[in-house]
Amino acid sequence: VTLSMWYKFDQTPGKKALHLYIVNAKTFKKPSLFMYIIHFIGYFLAMISIIGFLVGIFRKDKRALHDLLSGTCVIIKER
């Protein structure tokens, strides 16, 4: 369900409530299906190790391990 929500709307219900979108980190456009799949897998790897999320704390751009692996980033779109 999460993967289909990402692919169709570029966001999950929680991201939608906060006006957050997952985009390609280089072009700031919609990521490819492959990027979403890598993002999804990387997210679970980050949850298992916890270190994957801690990476974002020490980076200036705040991208966590799953974002780095998939080449994506999360942006806020103004209303």
Angle among Cα 28, 42, 34 to the nearest 5 degrees reads 55
Distances (CA, A) of 71 to 11, 21, 23, 53, 78: 16, 14, 9, 15, 23
How far is it, in rounded angstroms, from Cα 70 to Cα 54? 17
Q: How many CB atoms lie within 10 A of CB 21?
A: 20
Q: What is the pTM of this model?
A: 0.81
pLDDT in tens, the chain (79 residues): 777 877 777 777 888 889 998 899 999 999 998 998 999 899 888 889 888 889 999 999 999 999 999 999 999 987 6
Strand stretches in 1-79, DSSP E: 20-24, 72-76
